[in-house]
Structure 1
């Protein structure tokens, strides 16, 4: 059985980072080996605050070396990275990707480039954005940015669908083979939009925007995880995108129905394998591809 090495944050309570990503990938049939970049009591948007700490880059190196010692890296089918707690951790991720691909050249590296969003309570340490843009995203097979993170990588503003297509094409030219924009928020207020870009074209999926009083945290981590598991199952990027879009909506709908803030991933776990609703994925007009 191929495993997934997941290097990102962890919360003891709720679902963010590895706490949002590990179970969905397990539910979809994979062994998951989590390495935590930080461990907090809860996510950082609670007004009461949080407790916990970041780990050192050497902690990542030591754990990866331990996995290498027992031969696990040869069975690593994918490395998934999310929130990094320091610039040094980003450097450890680069070393990890190199080590895993040396042991298993067919392994995938999926980079969810979590950057600072102070308005959402997400703060990243100095140097992280630069490392993501210059070091991690270019070596990834797949990147899963939101609109802002894509704009930083493509070095352009994104205000329209045409802009998003152009930015995705720039991103593909920098190394990744697949770009999944986990939230494209410039084109609709009443629909949640996601975009997939490959050499075959750009595709758009939209679903209803559920009216949460407080937007759940960890949705991007869930999207990255479900898409990763889909690819590792052997699905095409298009099929993995379709499944990911529908499955994540199912989890969010269950969360909304329960009037909860924390994702109800366990309660909605069947949505991860058999989504109850499906939404059309449409190819974006070819004229926009060259806009």
Structure 2
């Protein structure tokens, strides 16, 4: 009996709410993937609340967790590595070292880099040293990258308004020639009113994937989206289908949160869970 696809997910973790691994882990597992979750920070909640407890993992502690992953041979087993929010420059460098080592050991590995570093409202919310490591070390290793327009603009120093801007920005990023850039939450000059787009740019061209623009912006949306993309790929779907499925299920989670008045994405809606349990290729 074949083993399920194995994922190493290196992201933030919170006690309460759904961001980072606390958003991405459940959908990947519900879709039948096996996941090893390595935290980069452990917080009580997101910074959107009046108080915040916890801290980034000390570098020596994080290094010890990575060593444990090496000792268990996780890189050799993995089909995917996902990286998201990183809490310190030292940990960012260690993640880059680990991903490079894993890809050398396991050429079939797919690395998804979600460069979680900022958005239009708050601006850049990680130290520039972390953003620099994402640009200079992590993104060149990525087979898939999922920046939002703010992140892509910051990483490349280019304004993002048109497809031509996106193509120029992709060229400016030092990503793999065979990799795919998935720019999320795009509102380009020709995007239909009331819609957002995820736009895939890769060696096989460009595809645009519109979705209704919901009047709600919540922490964890991008983390959930990336986890759902990996869930779709691990379940046998091609990348465009995985992106569209991720958009649809992220919208369900946002709609459920809005209905409940929640401050973060909600993963408990029954049809959301059923869709993940039945996420096989058509």
What's the TM-score once normalised by structure 2's chain length? Answer: 0.87
Listed one character per residue, the Cα deviations across residues 152-192 of structure 1 (whole Å, up to 9, x for unaligned) are: 33332112343224323544765461111122134456222
Tell me if 1:37 matches 2:40: yes
1:4 to 4, 7, 21: 7
1:22 to 11, 21, 25: 25
Contact 1:86-1:126 at 8 Å conserved across structures: no
Match of 1:278 in 2: none
Query: What is the CA–CA distance in structure 1 between the aligned matches of 2:235 and 2:242, rounded to whole Å?
Result: 9
1:102 to 101, 104, 109: 104
* Structure 1 counterpart SS, 2:67: helix
Query: What is the CA–CA distance in structure 2 between the aligned matches of 1:50 and 1:173, rounded to whole Å?
Result: 35
Query: What is the CA–CA distance in structure 2 between the aligned matches of 1:172 and 1:231, rounded to whole Å?
Result: 24
Consecutive unaligned residues in structure 1, runs of 5 or more: 276-291
Match of 1:167 in 2: 169
Shift of the alpha carbon at 1:25?
A: 0.7
Contact 1:250-1:271 at 8 Å conserved across structures: no
Match of 1:259 in 2: 261
2:273 to 237, 260, 269: 269
Matches within 5 A, 1:183-194: 183-187=185-189, 190-194=194-198
| Pairwise CA RMSD | 2.3
**Alpha-carbon distance change, 174 to 141 in structure 1, aligned in 2, over 3 angstroms:** closer
Query: What is the CA–CA distance in structure 2 between the aligned matches of 1:139 and 1:33, rounded to whole Å?
Result: 20
**Alpha-carbon distance change, 273 to 156 in structure 1, aligned in 2, over 3 angstroms:** farther
Query: What is the CA–CA distance in structure 1 between the aligned matches of 2:58 and 2:43, rounded to whole Å?
Result: 15
Match of 1:228 in 2: 230
Listed one character per residue, the Cα deviations across residues 190-236 of structure 1 (whole Å, up to 9, x for unaligned) are: 22221111212111122222223xx2110000111111222233322
Consecutive unaligned residues in structure 2, runs of 5 or more: none
**Alpha-carbon distance change, 118 to 190 in structure 1, aligned in 2, over 3 angstroms:** closer
Matches within 5 A, 1:135-150: 135-150=137-152
* Structure 2 counterpart SS, 1:43: coil
Query: What is the CA–CA distance in structure 1 between the aligned matches of 2:124 and 2:152, rounded to whole Å?
Result: 17
Listed one character per residue, the Cα deviations across residues 54-94 of structure 1 (whole Å, up to 9, x for unaligned) are: 11233332212212212333211111000111111111111
Contact 2:139-2:174 at 8 Å conserved across structures: no
Match of 1:115 in 2: 117
* Structure 2 counterpart SS, 1:234: coil
2:201 to 197, 202, 206: 197
Match of 2:250 in 1: 248
